[in-house]
Structure 1
Amino acid sequence: MRRLCRCGQEMNFGFRLVMFENKFQIDRVPIFECDSCDFYEVLPFVKPDLLDLLNQLKQQDVKGRVYFTEVNELADVLYELFRKWTKADSVLFEAMLEQHCEERINLLLDLYGCAQKMNDENWMKEIASRLATLSKFVKERQFMGAK
């Protein structure tokens, strides 16, 4: 995943601990980071979900550390892939990401079928939400690739 920084240099993809109001720590947030000017930004695909999580934590007045990978399906897929992938790999990160997203979507669809057979509506809603996050990402990437 590539992105140019406002200084013109290529940004690196990684993960960061985000601290908010000295109360909330959200770990494993996917970011783009520039080594040249130290600028970083949250991956645009997950930023709305991060802001929603911050609002929830603020309303609940919960303190401590939350792993973003546990509440955002895309962040979880990215983190798993990032831990395994090295720049020396001949397979591009983007190709591996596409494959991992497809595999996770298939797994979630299987789980949804199980939840449906068990008539577990709460589980079905949770899985549908997780599927929506990944499906939106895949759809937007395919649209961007078609241009």
Structure 2
Amino acid sequence: MRKLCRCGHRMSLGFRLVIYKNGIQVDRVPIMECDDCERYEVLSAVKSDLLDLLFQLEEQGETGLILFPEVNELADVLYGLFTDPMLEADLNEAMLVTSCEERINLLLDLYGCAQKSNDKNWMNEITVRLATLSNFVSKRQFSGAK
């Protein structure tokens, strides 16, 4: 994944712990970080989902540690690729899109099972998970980043 920092140097993918007020901690949040100036920013593709999660947890009065890949499908795919010792150190866009497409196919299979079981809650959960990945993949494909 490539992105240039404001300082002109290349940013790379990493994961951080986000600490929010009232004791909410969200770990393994995907970020882009600059090794030169040490600037970092939450990956734009998951930023709104992270904010939604933080506000939801605050509203519910929740505290403690949440692992972001457990609640965000794109973060889960990214973290799986990032921690895979068989992959090269430099994760690229094509690899990410391919992994997202594979996860989408898996989720569609699961959706079929949920539909056959007539499990509306499971179907809704899968729909949310699919939307995150589908939005990411379609934006990448239309921008020519594949």
Provide TM-score, normalisation by structure 1. 0.93
- 1:86 deviation in Å? 2.7
In structure 2, the residue matched to 1:52 is: 52
Between the aligned partners of 1:114 and 1:78, the Cα distance in structure 2 is 25
Does the alignment pair 1:68 with 2:71?
Answer: no
In structure 2, the residue matched to 1:79 is: 79
Trace 1:100-119 onto structure 2 (pairs within 5 A): 100-119=99-118
Segments ≥4 residues shifted beyond 4 Å: none
Over aligned residue pairs, what C-alpha RMSD do you find?
Answer: 1.3
- 1:129 deviation in Å? 0.6
Between the aligned partners of 2:14 and 2:107, the Cα distance in structure 1 is 25
Residues 69-109 of structure 1, C-alpha deviations (whole Å, 9 max, x = no match): 01100000000011113327xxx622221211111001000
Of 62-71 and 14-23, deviating more is 14-23
In structure 2, the residue matched to 1:36 is: 36
In structure 1, stretches of 5+ residues that fail to align are none
Of 122-131 and 31-40, deviating more is 31-40
Equivalent position SS for 1:145: coil
Does the alignment pair 1:124 with 2:115?
Answer: no
In structure 2, stretches of 5+ residues that fail to align are none
Equivalent position SS for 2:65: strand
Identity of aligned residues (%): 66
- 1:37 deviation in Å? 1.3
Provide TM-score, normalisation by structure 2. 0.93
Of 34-43 and 114-123, deviating more is 34-43
Between the aligned partners of 1:34 and 1:97, the Cα distance in structure 2 is 20
- 1:38 deviation in Å? 1.3
Between the aligned partners of 2:39 and 2:107, the Cα distance in structure 1 is 35
Between the aligned partners of 2:45 and 2:125, the Cα distance in structure 1 is 19
